Structure 1
Amino acid sequence: MSTPEVRIAVEDPATDDVVALLSEHLADMHATSPAESVHALDVRALRAPHVTFLAARDHAGALLGVGALAVLGPDHGEIESMRTTPAARGRGVAAAVLARIVDLGRERGLARLSLETGTQDFFAPAHRLYERHGFVACGPFGSYRSDPHSRFYTLALADA
């Protein structure tokens, strides 16, 4: 999705402003969750061939937010590294990035998208975002294990 206010495109996560936002993201994850419960990806992991990394920018090119789609298998994808800049929060950027990731999943023929997020109050806005877009709670998927600090969501793309 791209609008005059927000352009979402595939980018290299090693771009300086993206690295800064991802560093902030990782710092917040470590500040709110025990280390063994932090599953956020670093730049190296986000550059893997099975990951499509997206950046949302305004008309002047300023970074507004990021997100990624990691393909887990022939019919299953995972949403990774959703984050908006402090200045962009509450402006619909996260919803636009999420919508683009869902569209990418459909374009790639995936049957469902899943994600892991935290359980602390810090993550309440993320929970509301995902639930508002049709994601439902589910159990651990892929290599995740049950963890009191993790909440899992999934979306059947045929239903969305």
Structure 2
Amino acid sequence: MQRTIEIHTDDLSGEATRRLIAFHLAGMHDISPAESVHALDIDALRHPSLSVWSAWIDGELAGVGALKEMDADRGEVKSMRVDDRFRGSGVGRAVLRHIVDEARRRGMSSLWLETGTTADFAPAQRLYESEGFVVCGPFGGYALDPFSIFMTRVLSS
């Protein structure tokens, strides 16, 4: 039986969301050198250029994701994280598609992202590739880094 994934705008005040964001950030520091961690903490996610969504299954937080407005035409996917209990259940894909749809709704023409290069990040890379993202060079304030891969996707209307 497939369970329904509900996605809502998240104001980051809920304990479950705060815990998952902290867990995500700690996990990134566990598997990447500090200078290569680009995950955002709760305070950074509150920046006005960012919108955050949370995914829920049967009343339980299953994942989070954010969209950063880089400018009127470009957005960046940030802070994608699925709770370990829900990995492989389609939550990451649902959140990513929600972000893509929202970027289109806002009139953006492209999305960008940074993710890791180690084996821990292989599932994320496969997800992004399966949703039309392609490898590109660094963008925004990022620099070449052996622990980072950069991807982009053109958005059609």
TM above 0.5, one fold?
yes
* Distance (Å, rounded) in 1 between the aligned partners of 2:60 and 2:33: 32
Matched positions, count: 156
User: Match for residue 41 of structure 1?
Assistant: 40
Identity fraction in percent: 50
Q: Which runs of 4+ in 1 moved over 2 A?
A: none
Q: Which residue identity is paired with 1:104? A: E
User: Match for residue 50 of structure 1?
Assistant: 49
Partner of 2:70, secondary structure, is strand
Question: Are the counterparts in 2 of residues 14 and 43 from structure 1 also a CA contact under 8 Å?
Answer: no
Point out where structure 1 has 5 or more consecutive residues left out of the alignment. none
* Distance (Å, rounded) in 2 between the aligned partners of 1:44 and 1:148: 27
User: Match for residue 87 of structure 1?
Assistant: 85
* Distance (Å, rounded) in 1 between the aligned partners of 2:120 and 2:27: 9
Partner of 1:137, secondary structure, is strand
* Distance (Å, rounded) in 1 between the aligned partners of 2:11 and 2:3: 22
User: Match for residue 21 of structure 1?
Assistant: 20
TM-score by length of structure 2 reads 0.96
Q: Alignment RMSD, CA only?
A: 1.3
TM-score by length of structure 1 reads 0.94
* Distance (Å, rounded) in 2 between the aligned partners of 1:23 and 1:136: 29
Q: Which residue identity is paired with 1:115? A: L
Deviates more, 1:8-17 or 1:105-114: 8-17
Question: Are the counterparts in 2 of residues 25 and 83 from structure 1 also a CA contact under 8 Å?
Answer: yes
Q: Which residue identity is paired with 2:19? A: A
Kindly provide the CA deviation profile for residues 81-139 of structure 1, in whole angstroms up to 9, marking residues without a partner as x. 00011111000000000000000000000010000001110000000000000000000
1:14 Cα deviation after fit: 3.2
Partner of 1:113, secondary structure, is strand
User: Match for residue 64 of structure 1?
Assistant: 62
